[in-house]
Amino acid sequence: MKCAGVETAGGITHNSFMDQAFGASEFADNPEPRCPCLLLLDTSASMDGPAIAELAKGLAAFKHELALDALAMKRVEVAIVSFGPVKVVADFHTPDRFQPPPLAAAGDTPMGAAILAGLEMVRQRKEAYRANGISYYRPWVFLITDGTPTDAWDRAAEAVKAGEDVKSFSFFAVGVAEADMGVLGKIAVRPPLKLDGLRFGDLFAWLSSSLSNLSRSSPSRPPPLAPTDWNYI
């Protein structure tokens, strides 16, 4: 039982093909292609009350629905950045390991910083996929907000446009209640969607079924998005 490679001090033998890349264990355990989905959630003070409660309920159902689909369970990865202030509340995980975090509404709406932080997470995740030979679908970024950015958002808008131009992600903006749809329209390249009331449940049901469909497709040939039924036309 002699290894061709080196014997490390810890007594663990490994060969040259074992050189570690970030996340190698996770991808060895589950080498399926990945559909990363980043949620940028507004948790500023204005979301307090029924809005944040509905959002949390929607997230729990989202996990549950994804976990029912054996393929989505291995392929979809969800991460969450909340803003008010900007905080990574969940890094990218498959639905079986994703825990919907408790959300508390407080603070202002640093949307620009949240978008930049989120896009950086997406970039790093893609790098980990590449280093580990894991194929991936174009990431989805979902911005959900009920307000107006309280920080400078022009750099974020540029980053979104640049990323959409080279197809490095798809950015969707969803406005809730009093959201400034005008600003959202300037940040997102795609027309922003306005949530009907607080139908977060329907929004996440649509999102999970869209991600399920995506995970069944081929990374380079995503299926057309199903029509949304949770927004004002």
Partner 1 sequence: MSVGAEILEQDGRRGRLGPKIGQGGEGAVYELEGRPGLVGKIFHQPLTRTRADKIRAMARARSPALDRLTAWPTGLLMAPTGEPIGLAMPRIEGHRDIHQLYSPRSRRMVFPEADWRTLVRVAANVARAFATVQAEGHVIADVNHSSILVSADARVKLIDCDSFQVTIDGVCYPCDVGVPVFTPPELQDQPLTGVMRTPNHDAFGLAVMIFLVLFMGRHPYAGRYLGDDEMPIERAIVEHRFAYGARRAAFAMEQPPATPPLEIVSPEIAELFERAFEPEAMLGGRPTAAEWVAALATLEATLVQCPVGIAHWHAPGLHECPWCPLEAATGVPLFAPVVSEATASLFDFGSFWQQIDALEHPGPAPEIPAPATKPKLSSVARRAPWRRAWQGPAALLVAVVPAGMAFGVELPLIARGLFLLAAAFIFFLVRWALRGSLDVTTFMVREHEARKLWQTTLAEWEAEAGPRRFDDKRAELDKLRAWWTEAAGQPQQRLRIESAIRRAFEELQQIANQIQVARSALRQNAEEVQEVLQQMQFDLKTVSKKR
Q: Residues 145, 112: contact at Cβ < 8 Å?
A: no
Which stretch in 53-61, 67-75, 139-147, 185-193 sits in contact with partner 1 by CB under 8 A?
A: 67-75
Q: What is the CA radius of gyration of the chain?
A: 19
Q: Which two tokens stand for residue 208?
A: 């999970």
The answer to whether residue 12 forms part of the interface with partner 1 (CB under 8 A) is yes
The answer to whether residue 63 forms part of the interface with partner 1 (CB under 8 A) is no
At residue 54, what are phi and psi to the nearest 5 degrees? -65, -40
Which stretch in 44-52, 69-77, 139-147, 180-188 sits in contact with partner 1 by CB under 8 A?
A: 69-77
State the Cα–Cα distance between residues 22 and 35, nearest whole angstrom.
18
Sole binder of partner 1 in the list 21, 88, 106, 225 (CB under 8 A): 21
Sole binder of partner 1 in the list 107, 185, 219, 222 (CB under 8 A): 219
Size of the site for partner 1 (CB under 8 A): 39
Q: Residues 142, 172: contact at Cβ < 8 Å?
A: yes
189 to 218: interface string for partner 1, x by CB under 8 A: ------------------------x--x-x
Question: Toward partner 1, which CB reaches closer, 99 or 218?
Answer: 218
Nearest approach, Cβ of residue 171 and partner 1 (Å): 18
The answer to whether residue 74 forms part of the interface with partner 1 (CB under 8 A) is yes
The answer to whether residue 165 forms part of the interface with partner 1 (CB under 8 A) is no
Q: Residues 76, 39: contact at Cβ < 8 Å?
A: no
State the Cα–Cα distance between residues 142 and 170, nearest whole angstrom.
9
At residue 206, what are phi and psi to the nearest 5 degrees? -65, -45
Q: Residues 39, 77: contact at Cβ < 8 Å?
A: no
Q: DSSP string spanning 155-190? A: HHHHHHHHHHHTTS-EEEEEE-TT--HHHHHHH-SS
Sole binder of partner 1 in the list 7, 31, 64, 99 (CB under 8 A): 31
Q: What part of residues 94-123 is at the interface with partner 1 (CB under 8 A)?
A: none
Query: Residue 118: which of 59, 38, 35 has the closest Cα?
Result: 38
The answer to whether residue 233 forms part of the interface with partner 1 (CB under 8 A) is no
Nearest approach, Cβ of residue 7 and partner 1 (Å): 11
Segment holding 75, helix H or strand E:
helix 70-75
Interface with partner 1 (CB under 8 A): 1-5, 12-15, 17-21, 24-25, 27-33, 70-71, 73-74, 130-135, 213, 216, 218-221
